[in-house]
A and B are shown apart, each in its own frame.
Chain A
């Protein structure tokens, strides 16, 4: 399907485990973003990427790792999950020719 998809939609893990959230877009958008949504904070930017092999930190990058070897994929890895990383994670993409981001449906992550 065309668009931006995130997987899994729901994930439960334990503290200390590594977990990877996947994001795939079919538009060939150059920009991709990862946000987390928490009550009282809105959406906060974790990492973003301007193109394949170009990534940079956002507001809350600690504890997260990203990579972008292909334009269409932008996985987010929690190397050693903590309870404070329990959140809803959204991936977004943008063409860069217009300043509009298109969001995936989100991944709800619970760290026990």
Chain B
């Protein structure tokens, strides 16, 4: 049973518009969430994170929102740029543990010029 789900395998957005990537989780013990970005033939790179004590974290064009009651988080990219085209993985972790992540299956974002 997948504890972290990304139900949209792919998403296409016009350059300059907002991209919204979604992630759901089932384990209420998760208290730290991250988004990673992955280009082809490269390893995932850390993008942004959020602790469960917050409901929003912002870093430049990237904002992550956390809705604990719905066990849902989303990544907003505004404005979207062609260089944002990549696969985005959300990950969840328990900070009191061993820093293990559970990853979602990923969403492929394509930003159209």
Contacts and interface: CB of A to CB of B under 8 A. Distances in A.
A, B: real partners: yes
Say which size band chain A's interface belongs to: 20 to 34
Interface string A49-86: 01000001011000000000000000000000000000
A24 to B, nearest CB: 14
A105 B41 contact: yes
A106 B105 CA distance: 17
Given A42-B104, A43-B89, A99-B49, A105 B42 contact: yes
Nearest to B34: A100
Contact of A101 (B6, B99, B102, B105): B99
Given A99-B93, A100-B49, A48 B43 contact: no
B46 A40 contact: no
Size class of the B contact interface (CB-based, 8 Å): 20 to 34
A16 interface: no
Contact of B44 (A41, A45, A99, A103): A103
B103 A44 contact: yes
24 contacts: A31-B99, A33-B100, A35-B103, A40-B105, A42-B4, A42-B6, A42-B103, A42-B105, A44-B103, A45-B100, A45-B101, A58-B100, A59-B102, A90-B43, A94-B99, A99-B49, A100-B46, A101-B46, A103-B43, A103-B45, A104-B43, A105-B42, A106-B42, A106-B43
- Which 3 pairs between the two chains have the least Cβ-Cβ distance? A103-B43, A42-B105, A42-B103
Interface of A: 31, 33, 35, 40-45, 48, 50, 56, 58-59, 90, 92, 94, 96, 99-106
